[in-house]
Amino acid sequence: MRDDQDVGKQDRSIKDAVVVVSQDNDSDKKLIAYVVPDGGFNRDEITNYLQSQLPSYMVPRLIIQLNRIPLTSNGKVDKRALPDPDLLPEFGNRVARNPETEKQKLVASIWADALKLKQVSIDDNFFELGGHSLIAVKVMKSIEEKTGSRLPISALFEAPTVEKLSYLLEQDEKVISWKSLVPIKPEGSKPPLYIVHGSGLTVLVFHALAMGLDPDQPVYGLQARGLNGIDEPFDTIEDIASCYIEEILEQNPHGPYSLVGYSFGGIVAFEMAKQFKTMGKEVNMLAIFDTNADNSVFFDKKSTRIKKKIKRQFPKFRFIVQSFIKDPSSTMDYQFKLVKGKINNLLSWAGIIQKEPDEDEHLVHADKINHSHDIAFRKYHMKPYNGTIDLFRVKNRMYYLDDPKYLGWKSLALQGLNIHEISGDHKTFLFAPNVQELSLLMRKIINERNDEIRVRKDFPNPSSVLKAI
What pLDDT shows up at residue 26?
46
Q: Residue 416, CB half-sphere, CA atoms under 13 Å: how many?
A: 3
Please return the burial class of 219, using the count of CB atoms within 10 Å of its CB with bins 0-12, 13-18 and 19+: buried
Closest CA to 21 of 6, 33, 10: 33
Q: What is the DSSP string of 236-258?
A: SHHHHHHHHHHHHHHH-SS--EE
- Amino acid in position 58: M
The DSSP letter of residue 443 is: H
What is the predicted pLDDT for the residue at 460? 61
Listed residue (434, 442, 426) closest to 200, CA to CA: 426
**Residue 361's pLDDT is what?**
44
Taking CA 160 as the corner, what is the angle to CA 432 and CA 23, rounded to the nearest 5 degrees? 80
Mean pLDDT, 10 residues at a time, over the chain (469 residues)? Answer: 45 76 59 81 75 69 81 81 66 65 90 84 83 84 86 87 89 76 90 93 90 90 88 94 96 92 96 96 95 88 85 85 84 78 71 56 71 94 95 90 92 95 91 86 90 69 52
Dist CA 257 CA 248 (whole Å):
9
Question: Domains (ranges, CATH) in the chain?
Answer: 1-95 (3.30.300.30), 97-177 (1.10.1200.10), 178-295+327-469 (3.40.50.1820)
> Is 204 within 8 Å of 133 (Cβ atoms)?
yes
